[in-house]
Amino acid sequence: MNRSKITPIVLSVIIVILAAAVVLLLIFMKNQPIETRGVPALIEIAAMEPDSEKWGVNFPNQYSTLLKTETNNTGTVYGGSDPVQKLEVDPRLVTLFAGYAFSKDYKEDRGHMNSVTDVRATLRINDKTPGTCYSCKSASNPSLWAEMGMAAYDKTPFNELGARIEEPIGCANCHEAGTMRLIVTNPALEEALEAQGKDWTTFTRQEMRSVVCANCHVEYYFKGDGKYLTFPWAGGTSIEAIENYYNEYDFADWTHPDSGAEMIKMQHPDYEMFTAGSTHFNAGVACADCHMPYTRDGSVKFSTHDVHSPLTNPAQACGACHTDVDYVVGRVSAIQGQVAATMYAAEDAILDAIEAIKVAAADGKANAKLIEEARALHRSAQLRWDFIAAENSMGFHNPEEALRILASATDLARQAQLKAVQALP
Ligand code: HEC
Ligand code: HEC
Ligand code: HEC
Ligand code: HEC
């Protein structure tokens, strides 16, 4: 036979056999039990479902890594998950926060799954504590805010609201069920962004990878008798804008018993510091890049939800962008060491100011106007120092800004001290 006639026949036969093989393979794959293909059964998740375990049926990797935040207990030099008592590490804090609950109990934070246990255990809670304190602690919140409204939620006493707070931080704090997109869930964040003319629904995915953290990792206060959760951002998020905001509103958390100054406690402004022009923020890096790096489980790649100090897994947390991980980790300790030293110097200056004002105020003949000026300077100095002390990265999130603010805190404290001395006859 002619070879040119055989070839097409042989080819057709081969093609038919190959096609049949592909069909059989597809049928075989389709009939495999679902688990062995690694695709979990999907269940429908109710809107704002508080129970992360239910979401976990669809997203087992994200759920199992979130669970790990409960048992992390590794401490780092300035952070980590070991709940050390900061008042023992740095006894100056007892005088700085005299007259306020933070002078009784101030522990290093832990992982997200401990949020409810830890807030209930703190000695800062008493009968008068408002429900507002649960705002950053629970996946039960989004559905409660939808049901009660945030004003009614905030007015409910802490101990009473507690009966309805069942879940620690979970999926419903950051994701929309169904679409799984990242969303703003805290009404106070939505209102604070609106006050700045910003609409989060227009934000990019990369912006949302930081903004979801701003649901909680921000400076805030309880406004008015209703203790309404408010972020002081209307004039901007720099420390100067925040101070102006509080001064206009004439706000104070407590009166310092030694100096008599009207004080403000700052709360973990991680988002404000990071976004104040830090190198990483300017380069388009987000919180989730360092705190929720991609990890692998076999062939599956996902964002780890085991959020903690990046210093305990720098190869993952920094290695995606930096080739020399040892070098950048060394930079973190150099930066943190410098910020800590500058921070302690600011504390010493504030303690000197407190002492000088106390002495002047105890002297019946001192100049009252100068004492008032010294008190205002004490307030100004301490809220700046606290902005950096309460921020969680010991300056790493934004080293230049941290050093700038601390220098100004020390300067204001020395001015306060000088005024108090001048006030004496
Ligand atoms: C470039 C990497 C990077 C980015 C981006 C980043 N962080 Fe951090 N973060 C760190 C490092 C490093 C530390 C210091 C950890 C330590 O001292 O153990 C830290 C510390 C923290 C801590 C305290 C951790 C602990 O163990 O106590 C919190 C909370 C935190 N960051 C939240 C945020 C938030 C919120 C954002 C975004 C607004 C953010 N971080 C952006 C690297 C980063
Ligand atoms: C503290 C906020 C936060 C919580 C709580 C949270 N997530 Fe996420 N999740 C994120 C961020 C940030 C990303 C990254 C999103 C991106 O890159 O677009 C993410 C990504 C995801 C993704 C996309 C795939 C991936 O891994 O990148 C899924 C699915 C997901 N999360 C499921 C869950 C589930 C299920 C829970 C509860 C068990 C949960 N998340 C809790 C913030 C959170
Ligand atoms: C619903 C509020 C909420 C959201 C949203 C949230 N956090 Fe937290 N975060 C907390 C609270 C509260 C703690 C302290 C829990 C404790 O100490 O029990 C915490 C602790 C942490 C810690 C310290 C963990 C440790 O082991 O020391 C890091 C780091 C952190 N958060 C980063 C982030 C990042 C990054 C995001 C955004 C992807 C984020 N958080 C979103 C409330 C929140
Ligand atoms: C998503 C990418 C990304 C991740 C993750 C990341 N970085 Fe960076 N980092 C950058 C970029 C981009 C720059 C700016 C580079 C430049 O301008 O030269 C930078 C700069 C730095 C610098 C120099 C800052 C300065 O002001 O000169 C240090 C230090 C640093 N990173 C440390 C870290 C550490 C530590 C981690 C992990 C905890 C980390 N980075 C994670 C992208 C990243």
Summarised one tens digit per residue, pLDDT across range 51-101 is: 999 999 999 999 999 999 999 999 999 999 999 999 999 999 999 999 999
Which residue among 388, 396, 398 has the greatest number of ligand 1 atoms within 8 angstroms of its CB, and so is best to mutate?
396
Residue-level pLDDT at 36 = 47
With a cut of 90, say whether residue 14 has pLDDT above it: no
Q: List pocket residues of ligand 4, CB cut-off 6 Å.
A: 279-280, 283, 285, 289-290, 310, 314, 317-318, 320-322, 328-329, 331-332
Query: So what's the pLDDT on residue 191?
Result: 98
pLDDT of residue 39: 58
Distance CA(419)–CA(353), nearest Å, equals 9
If you measure from the C-alpha of residue 343 to the centroid of ligand 2, how many angstroms do you get, rounded to a whole number?
Answer: 35
As a whole number of angstroms, the distance between CA 187 and CA 191 comes to 6
Q: What are the tens digits of pLDDT across the range 275-311?
A: 999 999 999 999 999 999 999 988 899 999 999 999 9
pLDDT for the residue 139: 98
pLDDT at residue 219, rounded to an integer: 98
d(C-alpha 109, C-alpha 86), whole Å: 10
Cβ-count burial 72-108 (b if 16+ within 10 Å, e if not): beeebebbbbeeeeebeebeebeebbbebbbbeebbb
42, 115, 184, 188, 228 from 149: Cα distances, Å: 31, 22, 16, 11, 11
Residue spans of alpha helices (H) in 321-398: 325-362, 368-390
Q: Where are the domains of the chain?
A: 52-72+110-251
pLDDT at 27: 72
Distance 24 CA to ligand 2 centre (A): 37
Over residues 167-173, mean pLDDT: 98
Percentage of residues of the chain with pLDDT beyond 90: 88
pTM value is 0.92
CA torsion angle 124 126 128 129 (round to 10): 50
Q: Please state, for a pLDDT cut of 70, what percent of the chain lies above it.
A: 96
Q: What is the largest CA-CA distance in the chain?
A: 126
- pLDDT grade, residue 19 (50/70/90)? confident
Contacts of 68 (CB under 8 A, 6+ apart): 111, 306
Rounded CA separation 242/378 (Å): 16
For the cut 90, the answer to whether the pLDDT of residue 331 exceeds it is: yes
* CATH architecture, domain 52-72+110-251: Orthogonal Bundle (1.10)
210 lines ligand 1 (CB under 6 A): yes
Nearest to 215 by CA among 238, 179, 182, 260: 182
- For 246, phi then psi, to 5°, come to -65, -35
Considering only CA atoms, which residue is closest to atom 31 of ligand 2? 62
Lowest mean pLDDT among 23-32, 134-143, 314-323: 23-32
Residue 353 has pLDDT above 90, yes or no: yes
* Nearest ligand to the C-alpha atom of residue 300: 2
